[in-house]
Structure 1
Amino acid sequence: MLLEQGIIYLASVLSMAILLDKWFGEPNRLHPLVGFGRYASWIAVQCRRVKSANAGVQGVISWLFSVIPFIVVTYFISASFDSNLVRFIFDTAVVYLCVGGKSLVQHAMAIFIPLDQGKLAEARQAVQMIVSRDASQMDEQQISIATVESVLENVNDAIIGVLFWTLIFGVPGAVLFRLANTLDAMWGYKTEKYIRFGFTAAKIDDLLGYVPARMTAFAYAILGDIQQALRCVHRQASLCSSPNGGVVMCAGAGSLNIQLGGRVCYHAVWQQKPPMGIGPIAQAKDIARACRLLSSTTLLWLVMIWFFVLLGM
């Protein structure tokens, strides 16, 4: 796909998609990912009815039937256009729908504003929209930590991963990454219901996110305190449960000179997350700093992509 379409074409698609996301954000209604989530849930129900297969096999089948049809359809629709302009418009629209940078900032600021105003109950409701941990008993510090962690980790999921896989496999690569990431968010839990069924979704998401996570961490480091970021990744990332999230959050926290982690509640079970970063515990003001780091990271990688494009011309 990359050789067929050309790196310049894909860089142009990515740049326009990021601009569209910056201007408009995600569609307020009828976002395709919402429809995909419903479809994937229906597929999972059907596959779980196959009693001859264990939960792990059911999860594999569910993943394949959920993701592969959309990748194939995207490829053939894109390839079917005779007009380069129409193809560019279609491909840009698809990648734009896979990116979620502005939405992530909007969710984060919807937490920061009431938190900054002392409206703790409103901030708890807002943070519950973006995290799977129980927010009902969170204090101001825990809300700040959860929000900053979510922003730092999701830069990889909502932006850099899409950029990387679009460059590797074209627009179907963007679809592959975004849908795989969505299924991990739906099924990738270590609960009794999903620990075997969601194993495939979790591992595929880890695999697809491996390189983009390190790209994200690299950008965090050079955009802030590089020494602290690298030191935190080296010392702390291996202590985290996620092979990608740990690298990203440790680098981001080190870059911002703040500390994340601590006691959290997932699915009614309290856990102690390892410390990530160094310095004072994250506060409300650090939410805005994390959002600025998101924007700078996106811009940095777009500039670097075009630098390598022009260097290779």
Structure 2
Amino acid sequence: MTLWMACVLALVLDYVLGEPGRLHPVVGFGQLATAVEKRFNTAPDKAWKSLFTGWFSVLLLMAPVLGVALWVSVTLNGVLRVATEAITLWLAISLRGLTEHGLAVAEPLRKGDLEVAQEQVSRIVSREASALDEQGVAAAATESMLENGADAVFASLFWFLVAGIPGVVLHRMINTLDAMWGYRNPRFLYFGRAAARLDDLMGWVPARLTALTYMLLGDRKLAWRCWRNQAPQWDSPNAGPVMAAGAGALGVRIGGPSPYPSGVKHRPVLGGVQAAGSASVEAAIRLVWRGVWLWLGVVLMGAVLLSLVVN
């Protein structure tokens, strides 16, 4: 029951306060990661050396923080423990931030202001936003809501429920390092492989639970068909099921050719046949919110049943 209480408190904090901005621990961790990468990623073209320094850098950054998280989880009890768990989870999730970023794109799209919508979507995706039409902006934002729902909400909830404070801290660190180093470019091809592989590993189960959540709360038949047939075509083993099932649940079409600064990237089409628009962005946000309520309900039910069995 205490885990459920911590989850609820964390979501309340997120809803009321949002993210703490520049004072966010993840920002500080990211700055430290940048310094470490500059210090050790000195020979990106030398595969074995770069692979070794990449693994070493990941361990160097994570070990002290994980040690503190383990110590806190072992020593704290009672109300102080629940409060600490709630604050830690609040700092890891970003449900309000996801909602605000999505609505910032959907609202100008609904008003027909493409330029503002392009500017806002450029804040959440790496695409060449100025080259996107209305449908392209909406598809990009819809994809971001579905994928970040998995990374920034459900994966954090999952690892907190599985391993408490150490679990959610470990996942957030790995996910942050993957976002910073997990690029397939000359600088990070080898150095960033450790972070990318660890992120794939930690995200495997949460991604599929997220896909299942989306499927249960939308068009089940289409979501399952998209998950089964389309997800394997995606280049990410975790983003594929999440976005395919999510797009199928909404009946919306995402993916396809997209402009990036390096050129047009031809990606598989995911989902149904309905063109993306402001409504699909808002529907994706609602899908994530409903998924959170579903998870809370399942956790509460599990806690009640466990207490009945124990007593």
Identity %: 38
Inter-partner Cα distance in structure 2 for 1:222 and 1:95: 25
**Local SS of the residue matching 1:189:** coil
Q: What is the number of equivalent residue pairs in this alignment?
A: 305
Inter-partner Cα distance in structure 1 for 2:111 and 2:6: 40
Inter-partner Cα distance in structure 2 for 1:71 and 1:299: 29
Task: Give the match for residue 218 of structure 2.
Answer: 224
**Local SS of the residue matching 2:135:** helix
- Structure 1's 72 and 266: CA in aligned 2 closer, same or farther, altered over 3 A? farther
Mean Cα deviation higher: 110-119 or 36-45: 110-119
Normalised by the size of structure 2, how large is the TM-score?
0.93
Question: Is this contact kept in 2: 1:253–1:276, CA < 8 A?
Answer: yes
Residue of 17, 26, 29 corresponding to 1:24 = 17
Task: Give the match for residue 198 of structure 1.
Answer: 192
Task: Give the match for residue 73 of structure 1.
Answer: 68
After superposition, what is the alpha-carbon deviation per residue over 1:156-197, rounded to whole angstroms, capped at 9, x for unaligned? 111111111112211110111111111111111111221211
**Code of the aligned partner of 1:80:** T
Inter-partner Cα distance in structure 2 for 1:84 and 1:174: 19
**Code of the aligned partner of 1:38:** Q
Provide the alpha-carbon RMSD of the alignment.
1.6
Question: Is this contact kept in 2: 1:100–1:159, CA < 8 A?
Answer: yes
**Runs of 5+ in structure 2 lacking a partner?**
none
**Local SS of the residue matching 1:176:** helix
Superposition map of 1:78-227 within 5 A: 78-81=73-76, 84-227=78-221
Question: Is this contact kept in 2: 1:50–1:58, CA < 8 A?
Answer: no
Residue of 269, 272, 282 corresponding to 2:263 = 269
Question: Is this contact kept in 1: 2:182–2:188, CA < 8 A?
Answer: yes
- Structure 1's 91 and 187: CA in aligned 2 closer, same or farther, altered over 3 A? same
After superposition, what is the alpha-carbon deviation per residue over 1:22-72, rounded to whole angstroms, capped at 9, x for unaligned? 222212341111111101111111112489962211211121122222111
Superposition map of 1:280-291 within 5 A: 280-291=274-285
Inter-partner Cα distance in structure 2 for 1:198 and 1:125: 29
**Code of the aligned partner of 2:290:** S
Question: Is this contact kept in 2: 1:257–1:280, CA < 8 A?
Answer: yes
Inter-partner Cα distance in structure 2 for 1:264 and 1:67: 35
Inter-partner Cα distance in structure 2 for 1:197 and 1:281: 39
Q: Is 1:58 matched up with 2:53?
A: yes
Task: Give the match for residue 8 of structure 2.
Answer: 15
- Structure 1's 284 and 80: CA in aligned 2 closer, same or farther, altered over 3 A? same
After superposition, what is the alpha-carbon deviation per residue over 1:285-309, rounded to whole angstroms, capped at 9, x for unaligned? 1111111001001110111111112
**Code of the aligned partner of 1:153:** E
The Cα shift of 1:267 comes to 4.2
**Code of the aligned partner of 1:64:** L
